[in-house]
Amino acid sequence: MRPALLVIALILTGCPKNPALVRDAKTYEAEVQFFSMAATRQADQLAEFIASSCSCVEGAWSGSNQDLCASSALNVQTVGARIEWHAQMMRYNGGLIDERPPEEPPAIPSATDLCPMSDEARIEADEAEAEATPAIEGEEQ
Amino acid sequence: MSDFSKTLDSLVDTLGEAGVTLLSGQLSDLSSQADEPWQKLVLEMVAQGVESNGMDGIRLAEDALKSLMDNEVPDLSFLDLASASDVLAQLQNAEADRKRKAHDLVVKVGKTIGAILSGVIRAAVTSA
């Protein structure tokens, strides 16, 4: 019976061009978690950098480091939207979980959604908000 | 092609009108052979390659696409993280599809073998 089983196994597995790797499941899971954590922590720090050092005028990056701000924002948005999906796909394809993640990965929000307002724009927005807020009764007199 | 026209417009400076027309034609041809996500991906890769490396970027995109077609590991370092994520998602989905097909085949074969074995056992019990 054993040779027959071997033949069946060979038929089922075939001779793939990219052979599957056999990995220790716990080490593999630890690696997935580590790389997810590394990406997420870096993205958190990039988000702090954007908030403290970048500014936008009318939805566009401005200032001397606008290119760095734009690419940092794209990285933050990509990691935020996708890292968990990619990690789950790694787990599924690696046989660590049985449930396949949705086929469509989450959409990546626009990088300019992270645009911090410039000081001038912030003052203008505050003024506009103040004007739009109805005066409280009694304060008008 | 309307979805891609915006990206194509951004390539006019580097490729020129003639280059974009040629690329647009190539992508139209490709659309008959590839599904929408792959077509979008090809354009994304070409656009980013050109954006970051000028005309050499077309070669980078071509090399990456050839690697993908040959089932080899593509060099995606010329792409931004969002586009690299799109390509990786396609690769991961392709592997998951193969895994699902392999699993379905194993289940089918397992059922068939089970049916054969139970028939053999039944026959053996009956004849005993």
Return d(Cα A85, Cα A134) in angstroms, integer.
Answer: 45
**pTM for the structure as a whole:** 0.71
Q: What average pLDDT does the segment A30-41 reach? A: 97
Interface probe, candidates B92, B100, B101, B112, chain A, greatest A C-beta count within 10 A: B92
C-alpha dihedral (A110, A34, A94, A103), degrees to nearest 10: -10
User: What is the rounded distance in angstroms from the CA atom of residue B41 to the CA atom of residue B107?
Assistant: 34
ipTM: 0.74
Separation of alpha carbons B123 and B110, rounded Å = 20
- Where are chain A's structural domains? 23-97
- pLDDT tens profile B21-64: 776 666 666 555 555 667 677 777 888 887 778 778 888 888 88
Whether A80 shows a pLDDT value over 50: the answer reads: yes
Pairwise CB contact (< 8 Å): B82 & A86: no
Return d(Cα B74, Cα B63) in angstroms, integer.
Answer: 8
Q: How far apart are CA A124 and CA A59, in angstroms?
A: 14
Q: Does A118 touch chain B (CB under 8 A)?
A: no
Q: Report the distance separating Cα A23 and Cα A29, nearest Å.
A: 10
- Report CA B43 to chain centroid distance, whole Å: 13
Domain extents in chain B: 2-127
C-beta separation of A11 from B113 below 8 A: no
